[in-house]
Every structure is written in C-alpha cells, then in structure tokens.
Structure 1
Amino acid sequence: MKSHISNALSDFFFEYETPRQVLVRNRRVGVVCRIIQLGVLAYIIGWVFIYEKGYQSADTAVSSVFTKMKGVGYTSINGSERVWDVADYVFPSQGDASFVVMTNYIITEGQEMGTCPELHGKHNCSTNADCEGGSFKRTGHGQMTGVCVENKTCEVLAWCPVEDDHKIPDPPMLMSAENYTLFIKNSVTFPLFGVSRSNLVEDIDAAYISKCLHHPDDAPLCPIFKLGDIVKLSGFDFETIARVGGAIGIVVDWTCNFDVDVTHCKPQYNFHGLYGNAAETDKAKASVGYNFRYAKHYMDNKVQKRTLLKVFGIRFDIIVQSLARKFDIIPTLTAIGSGVGIFGVATVVCDLVLLYLLPKRAFYKNMKFKYTDTHVQHDSELLGLEKSDYCNLEANARQVQGTGQSNDPDSEAGSTETEVSKVRVSYISYKK
C-alpha cells in the first residue's frame, strides 16, 4: 500500500503529460489553417491593439462648465427705442452649461388682473350659454365668467389685456444676436490618472483671449465663439432659427493619450444642430422652434401689473465628452491572452475538415486518435509476451509502416494495422 502511494506521488510530481500531435501534410488543410491564423493575427493587431487600443486602460473625466455671454442688442418699435444687454436676453443668468439666448419676442405690456375678452379663436361664442362660467380651457388665458361680449368671445378673468401671439415678428427682433460672443470655460479631471486640464491650455493667456475668436482652422483652441459662427457650423441658417427658436449642441471633446506628454491633451469643439432647421418651419408639424414666457412684475399706483414676454430663442447645450487612455500591463496581457486563445479556432476548424469533410477522413481519424482496445491484452497473452513488450512490438511495426509510406500526403498505402498484423503473423509462425 505504501509503495502504491509513493509511486502515485512520484508520478504526480515528477512526470509531465503533453498532448499528442500529428503532423498532417495536406495542402488544403494547411492553407485553411494559415488563412485563419492570419485573420486572427490581423484582428488582434489591427482591431484590438491599434483601433481599440487594448494595451491601455481608459478613464472618463469629471467636468465643470462655466459660460459668459457678451453683446448688446437694439430694437425700435413704434418709435420706442430699447437696448438689450446680457441681463435681458440670457436665461438663466448664472452661466450654466445649458442656457437660452433670446432672438425674437412678443411683448404684452401693462397687464393687470381683471376681466376682458378672450383672444379670437380661443373661446368664440354666440350667447352667454356658450360660455360656461367658472370653467376654463387648456389653451385659454383665464377662467370664463359666463358672459359673451360684443366681439363674440367669452369674457375671462385673467391678466388683461390678453396676449396676442398669432403673428410672430419677421424678421426677428434681435438679429443683432448674430454678433454676440460666447465664452466657454471648461475644466476636466481624470481621477484614474490624476490629471486635471482646462480648455485654457498653455498657449492661451489673457492677452490672447482679449483678441481671439474661434475658428476651426485658424484658432481652434480659442474659447470665445461668435453666435453666428456657431449657428453656421451647426448647419443652420441664423435668420430662420432666430425667428422661431431652436437648439444647438456644443460638444467639447477631450480625447487624450497620456502615453505622451499631457500638454498634448487639448479640447476639440464640435457643433450639432438639434432642432430649428428650415424643414421645421413646415406648418404641418405639431410644434415648431423653441419658445417660453416670462413676466416682469411691478406696482403702478398700488396696482400690481406685469410685462409679459413670449421669448423665441436659441437654446445652447454644452456637452463635455471625454476619454483618456494610458498604457497598462493588465489589459495588455488580457488582450494577448484572449488573442492566443482565439488561435485555437484554426485547430478546431482544421480538425473538422480533416475528420469530417475530406475523402480520406477515416485515415486521418486513425492517425489522430489512439484507441485502447481489448485486443492488446488478448494478443499479448496469445503470443506469450508481456503487455509492455507487445506494445513495443506494435510501435516498431508502426515505425516500419511510416518509413515505407510514399511521400503523397493523402496516401493510405501500408496502413499501421496491416503492418502490425504482418508482424503478429510472423511472430506466431516463428513460435510454431
């Protein structure tokens, strides 16, 4: 018992098992194998390492955006002149990453709470019975009092006079917005790599900012943008989008490779028109452009009044897109390991071709697999040999068969079993 345990331990620690390999000389299978291997190699080098950069680890940034508008607008309505500054045409005024610049408006001044006729088309009526007192409609301006006034509309309790927004000013009231400028300040931090960057990179200082204006080719790093240029680069027409409003996305792209100096990590600005193009002026569409309302309240002779503005404007959404990469041994080894594993596909495919598709598949199957049949034990006893001696005899016969084969890789002449049978018959004749 002790010797069995000792032998088992000895075999476990001091023996090495290796798979059996068969060298097959077949042109078709060889070509298939090399094509598959080249395809896998191209995938690993071209896609995994070059395109996907599988040898690097990646991180996205934590970002902060600050904006500031500059510019002055001018309007003259019925001889009433007005200058519009940043506090009047930017909503909200805190410098967020998402804001609206007013380009057109409908103003209703001197509104106060009271009763007045509803706007035509909202609550038309013929008699008081058509105006249900105490009710209101979703599209109306107030609560109906139950009275049908002379202009054949229902009287409502609302901010009077009610707003008339049927006619949108054309051309836009603030076409001067085309010359406004937008300053974007953006800071990003990549926590995984401990790197912080700002769009005010090394070459940008106060003197440069004071005179630069962003241009995709001449000044790609300048953080000051002219609104007319933004609209043009987004693919829109300024007058069209200014009349009814729209939305534009400004993408600040931080795609960085920290295998080189961090000073090469610089932002790229891209502009995308979200809605507000010429096709959206089609009257068949349910909602065209972008607008909202806001009111300025004040007291006049102890009466609360307000000035209501329906604002049409361009909504700007500043989106920070980031991806930084740097060499890392762990993803590199992972990519190499997975690639080496994929090389096994060539072996599987070639085995399928050899064993199931080629005309001489039976011969290749006999060469690839070694069967442990009971005839070994039976024949060794018949010949009066030890099992190990019989196996050596059979191996020698296989070697004789191998040297006697022709160079034709697909030849089946002189099979192993035939040679073994010959040796077996010769030995039995000798014994007799």
Structure 2
Amino acid sequence: MEGYCTPAWDFLLEYDTPRIVLIKNRTVGVINRLVQLGILAYVIGWVLVWEKGYQEFDSIIGSVTTKVKGLAFTNSTLLEEHVWDAADYVIPSQQESSFFVMTNVILTKNQVQGRCPELPNKTSRCKSDSDCAAGYHDPHSNGILTGKCVNYNEKVQTCEIFAWCPVENDTVIPKPAILGAAENFTVLIKNSIAFPKFHFSKRNILTNANTSYLKACRFNRKNDPFCPIFRLGDMVQEAGEDFQQLAVQGGVMGLFIEWNCNLDQSPSQCVPKYAFQRLDNKHYSETLSPGYNFRFAKYFINKNGTETRTLIKAYGIRFEVEVFGRAGKFDIIPTMINIGSGLALLGVATILCDIIVLYLLKKSNYYKEKKFKYVEDYELGIESENSYGTIENSGNTN
C-alpha cells in the first residue's frame, strides 16, 4: 500500500522458517557428504568408541603399603664387618605411599657434648681469639663459639665450638656407595583400590596368586607384569637410570600404578599397569644440594655414664608410589547426550555448504533468489489484496 512504511524495530516481530532447496551441484554435494562423513567418524570413532562416550566414569580411591626385604654386608675401615638388614636401611620403617632405602652413609661415632675445633671453612678459620666471637653461631655451624682459636691440625687453626664432638666431616662422600648391594633388595607393594560409584574394589595382588607364587615371583614387564614384588635395581633400570651412580648421593624415584578399567568387561580384565620415573634432577652439576639425604642419631650411655651418640648421615633413594586411574560402565544418559551432540554437529555441513553456495559460487545471486523468499503479512496489505481480488472477480463476471 502506498505510503506504508515498516517501523525500524519491526524486525523483532519477524519469523523465519527453513526452506528446502535441492541444488544439483556435484562440487557442493561432494563437500557436503565429506563433511558429514567426517563428523560421523568423529562421533562414532572418537567420542563413542575411543573415548567410550557411552560410559559413565568414576575416579579412583586407593591405599598403598610397602615392605622392603634384603641383607647387605660391608667390611671397611670405618664400619668394619657389619650386616645391614631392613631395620637399618629402611628409615622410617613405615611411611604412607612411599619408602626410603639407605644406599650410602657417613658415620660419626662416639660423639659427646664438649669442646672441639670447628671444621675449616671461610668463617671458622682464625688467627687469634679475637676472630672468634663467643656465643655466636649460624645455621651452617656445628656448634656455638667459645671465643677461642685452637689448632684443627698442624697447619690450620679454627674457632673452638661447644657441640657434639668430634664434629661430622661430610666433605667426602664414599664412592662407590657403601650399600650398593641394595640394588638386590626387594619391595612388596600392596595396593588396594575402589571405584565407589560402581561398588567395585580390587587389589594389585591378583586373586589367582598364592603364597608360593609371591615368594618366587619378581616383576618383569615381559614375563610377569602383575607380580607385586619389585627388585630395586630393576625399578631404577626401568626408569633409564644406573643404580650404582644413583646410590652415591641418592635421589627420588616415582612408582606409578595406573588402573584404567572397563567394568562392562569381566572384573579379571581390570589389572594395574606399572611405570617408573626419576623425579629429581639427575644432573648433579646443575643442581644446588643434589641427591637425597638426611641425618639421624642413635643414642646410648657409655661405660663412664656419659651420653654418647652415633651420628648417621644417610644417603639413599626415596620411592614415591602414586596411584591413579578411572573406571567406566555403560549408562544410557551419556550415550544419548553424545549421540544427540553428534546429530547436532551434522548441521555444520549445511552451514558450510550454504556459505559456499550463497557467497563463493559464481551463481550465488541466483541461488539466493531460490533460497530466500520474503513474505509480508500486514493487515493493510491483506485487505488491499482482498479488495483488488474482489474487483477483479467482478470484472470477470461481466
């Protein structure tokens, strides 16, 4: 109708509906089918099959206990003949999800509280008593200065300290490691896991194992990958490290137990996988305070009734046991969600082909005319058309 104008905000009251246009174009048709096949391959192959999109999942809850066994014999000037068992080299005897095995040691025997010269260093060397401030100490010293400068040996003078004497000298680390025989020690790893959502629990000691099997088996990735007893040397070798080199200054090793279980299958198929990796920096030259060590002391009273101790600086390997994984089981809800998402993705093929047809092809304007149709349905327009139709019909009657 002449003089009628559409308000600027009228687009808010418009409605559009899809229109099906069959386009005979081989190029666009091939692209459409290829995109659809790619989406179907992604949904079926990746989402549903590889990622098990038809399952509901639960994360793992687990606990770990360890027991180390082995004997080592040493015969050196410092230690003389000595047999080491688990009570000596596993410190402390029980830890949560980890254990420490001593592989090297510096012993300072028969220490008593008294006065003795400090070890020579930049701050302890002196020429007179005035170089030693009485009562002073720092975190790196072995005791408290008495204010005297005394002979450490024939050539060197150091400040006297009140401390556990004689003081420890750890400037030289024994090499090869004193307890290098720890390579043949074994550890039993007992791991219990559960997936609460599915009311499923299991141990890494499989149900078909018996006492005689546990006494004889050793973990071997090819021949016996499910034995829960590990030789320490094999664990370090699996991580690509040399045990004897690692034993000198110690380090930290990771033992990873992975449980990935498909509970739609038999429970016997739910088994652990073991992996090993060194966690600390193995390049000692690039690391400040390399390796792993700590000190502890054993106290006793000597014949004279004086409290005496043996100070032990223990180097060794700390094994951290980490348990992780998940379990899945069929559930209709995630299945339908993933299938629905896949069907929705098929619309991408239509969008892509519309872009090609309407904007990239030479006949795009022609396709736009076939694709879009504009219909105005205003009351004034309808009345005008009805009136026009009535006049036209009257004319035909005559």
Could you tell me the TM-score, scaled by structure 1's length?
Answer: 0.81
2:178 to 164, 167, 173: 173
Letter in 2 for 1:258: L
What per-residue deviation string (whole Å, max 9, x for no partner) do you get for residues 133-189 of structure 1?
222122211222222223321111211111000000011101111111111111111
Contact 2:68 2:186 in 1 (8 A): yes
**For the structure 1 residues 360 and 430, does the alpha-carbon distance in structure 2 shift closer, same or farther, using more than 3 Å as the test?**
farther
Letter in 1 for 2:27: R
Q: Does 1:309 align with 2:306?
A: no
Secondary structure at the aligned position of 2:216 is classed as coil
Structure with higher Rg: it is 1
What corresponds to 2:52 in structure 1? 53
**Structure 2 unaligned spans of 5+:** 1-15
1:352 to 350, 355, 364: 355
TM superposition shift of 1:93:
0.3
Q: Does 1:182 align with 2:180?
A: no
**Whole-Å separation in 1 of the counterparts to 2:69 and 2:390:** 104
Q: Does 1:211 align with 2:216?
A: yes
What corresponds to 1:28 in structure 2? 27
Contact 1:245 1:276 in 2 (8 A): no
**Whole-Å separation in 2 of the counterparts to 1:249 and 1:160:** 38
**For the structure 1 residues 377 and 95, does the alpha-carbon distance in structure 2 shift closer, same or farther, using more than 3 Å as the test?**
closer
Contact 1:241 1:276 in 2 (8 A): no
**Whole-Å separation in 2 of the counterparts to 1:45 and 1:139:** 64
Letter in 2 for 1:291: N
- Correspondences of 1:357-376 after superposition (within 5 Å): 357-373=360-376
Secondary structure at the aligned position of 2:48 is classed as helix
Contact 2:113 2:164 in 1 (8 A): yes
Letter in 2 for 1:36: V
**For the structure 1 residues 428 and 168, does the alpha-carbon distance in structure 2 shift closer, same or farther, using more than 3 Å as the test?**
farther
Secondary structure at the aligned position of 1:221 is classed as coil
TM superposition shift of 1:18:
7.5
What corresponds to 1:410 in structure 2? none
What corresponds to 1:116 in structure 2? 116
**Whole-Å separation in 2 of the counterparts to 1:384 and 1:322:** 76
Question: Which one scores higher on RCO, CA 8 angstroms, separation ≥ 6?
Answer: 2
TM superposition shift of 1:239:
0.7
Could you tell me the TM-score, scaled by structure 2's length?
Answer: 0.88
TM superposition shift of 1:355:
2.2
- Correspondences of 1:369-408 after superposition (within 5 Å): 369-373=372-376, 377=382, 380=385, 383-385=388-390
Q: Does 1:141 align with 2:142?
A: yes
Letter in 1 for 2:111: Q
Contact 2:261 2:269 in 1 (8 A): yes
**Whole-Å separation in 1 of the counterparts to 2:254 and 2:36:** 45
Q: Does 1:156 align with 2:161?
A: yes
**Whole-Å separation in 2 of the counterparts to 1:73 and 1:209:** 22
**For the structure 1 residues 315 and 148, does the alpha-carbon distance in structure 2 shift closer, same or farther, using more than 3 Å as the test?**
same
**Whole-Å separation in 2 of the counterparts to 1:248 and 1:271:** 7
**Whole-Å separation in 2 of the counterparts to 1:170 and 1:189:** 45
What corresponds to 2:107 in structure 1? 107
Bigger CA drift: 74-83 or 376-385?
A: 376-385
TM superposition shift of 1:378:
8.3
**Structure 1 unaligned spans of 5+:** 1-16, 391-426
1:220 to 205, 209, 225: 225
Letter in 1 for 2:295: R
Contact 1:68 1:95 in 2 (8 A): no
What corresponds to 1:285 in structure 2? 287
**Whole-Å separation in 2 of the counterparts to 1:116 and 1:247:** 36
Contact 1:257 1:325 in 2 (8 A): yes
**Whole-Å separation in 2 of the counterparts to 1:95 and 1:381:** 93
Contact 1:354 1:364 in 2 (8 A): yes
**For the structure 1 residues 235 and 181, does the alpha-carbon distance in structure 2 shift closer, same or farther, using more than 3 Å as the test?**
same
